[in-house]
Chain A
Amino acid sequence: MNYNMEKDDNITQAQKAASMETIETKKLVINIKDLRKSFGDNHVLNGFNLKLHEGENLVVMGKSGSGKSVMIKCLVGLMQADSGYIEVMGQEVNTLDQDHLDALRADIGFLFQGSALYDSMTVRENLEFPMRRHKEKLGNVVDTEPLVLEALENVGLGHTMDLMPAELSGGMKRRVALARTLILKPKVILYDEPTSGLDPITAKEIIELMRTIQRKYNTSSLIITHDVDCARVISERMILLVDGINYAEGTFAQLSASTDPKVEAFFKK
């Protein structure tokens, strides 16, 4: 019962065909087919599908508790799906052994919902941590200091290197977490609610950072959010996760003009 957005009149058919074509011809970075996951009687995902193309910014929106975090945790193998096919950069996640999974994860950046900074380590140690098992990916550097500094300066926090996470504000923590996510130069970044718990101004700064980073390193991004403003600014395409399936897909303009009550509910002020 996928809600289809084909008959949208904001965009002419020709334009649409052109844009669809450029997307279709691009390489698939993430491909999720018929993903299912239950916790006992709680059926969270009931056949979710998602395709992320190279260089694309895809936003997944869904209510709290709809299974967005569960979905991306299955994507990186932190959680085992009950059934379904998950492919990331041409590799099927469920069939990989630990070494190949680790190698694949080095190409995936994961920004956690609550920042997840290691609170017994300094900011510098936090950023060095992902490098300890992936030295070869960075060309066997001995001195990691310049890399750490570059990553921190990317998020405008070069001076916090020797602070503990407890000494940072929520917004700074999120930026340090973003720097940590970027330190291995991932090809695809998964953002789990990058703006949740932040005031609108800080949220805007984080979104701006995400866009800068995407332009600078040409990454593909999967952004999970329930922040409409964030979705408007950053999304090229959106998927609405309702009742455990990809209920509706399309651009922000298409979805926000929809008259389906379940879709409208997301955009109502």
Chain B
Amino acid sequence: MATWQEMVNSRANTLLKGIKDFVVETGELSYFAGRFFKETLKPPFEFKELLRQCYQMGNRSLVLVGVTGFIIGLVLTLQSRPTLIEFGAVSWMPNMVGISIVREIGPVITALICAGRIASGIGAELGSMRVTEQIDAMEVSGTNPFKYLVVTRILATTLMLPLLVVFGDIIALYGSALVENLKGDVSFQLYFNTVFDALSYGDLIPATIKSFFFGFVIGLVGCYKGYYCKKGTAGVGVAANTAVVTASLLLFVVDFIAVFVSDIFYEL
């Protein structure tokens, strides 16, 4: 039988270890990010591989982002209709849906989907390359694996995510417009005109900047987890899994900071 002191002690130890792991991981991730910036600026550049990665990331997530966006737009509109009708404000639907999708829901949902799809994919791919010594083989054959594998992937996610977000936003707005068209007799043209009137640069610019950071986080975490994957096939699973979890968590942290910062700009 463990006494209560022992129990408290062991709990405290687990907590301490958790905090320590968190601090160490944050440090390592920052170092990894620093290395990314340093190596990005140094020639030779791997343009061909970058293009290939961009194509693959877009290709892999386009359908998923489209379907999810469509459903989100549909559901959001269907569920807000009764409330807006009650207040006699149903004509505000395009404004409300447009702003909430462009400013928040579009970027966050797209980023979460990409965290699940891309970050885990990168984690597993680089992880298995690490475990099977492919990364070592690259290094001895004179190609810098950090440049070839990591830099290209992080750049690709950073560049592609904003595009995916724009694509997701548009499909979501179509979903919403479809509901309004069927249930409320609003033409697509009127719907989109209202949405674009409602949106200002103050909505679009922060959302776009935020999306770049989301893309960066997804690439960074996926690559970090895969590149430092533990030996053994179990390590690959862990890398893929923790990549998704860490990336998703970090996305919300970044989102919080982004909203906070753009709020400050508004007040100025």
Contact = CB atoms under 8 A, between A and B. Distances in A.
Contacts, number: 46
The CB with the most chain A CB atoms within 10 A, among B132, B134, B143, B144, is that of B134
A133 B132 contact: no
A110 B142 contact: no
A76 B140 contact: yes
Interface string B135-177: 0111111111000000000000000000000000000000000
A112 B128 CA distance: 15
Contacts of A120: 125
Contacts of A184: 141
A215 interface: no
Interface string A82-113: 00000000000000001000100110101011
Contacts of A73: 136
Contact of B136 (A116, A133, A134): A116
A102 B137 contact: no
A116 B132 contact: yes
A116 B133 contact: yes
Contacts of A108: 140
Contact of A105 (B128, B133, B134, B140): B140
Interface in A130-146: 130, 132-134
A112 B142 contact: no
A59 to B, nearest CB: 21
B149 to A, nearest CB: 10
A130 B139 contact: no
B137 A133 contact: no
B136 A129 contact: no
B140 A114 contact: no
A241 interface: no
Contacts of A129: 138, 141, 143
Interface of A: 73, 76, 78, 98, 102, 105-106, 108, 110, 112-114, 116-120, 129-130, 132-134, 184
23 contacts: A102-B142, A105-B140, A105-B141, A105-B142, A106-B142, A110-B140, A112-B133, A112-B136, A112-B137, A113-B133, A114-B132, A116-B132, A116-B133, A116-B134, A116-B136, A118-B129, A118-B134, A118-B137, A119-B128, A119-B134, A130-B141, A130-B142, A133-B142
Interface of B: 125, 128-129, 132-134, 136-144
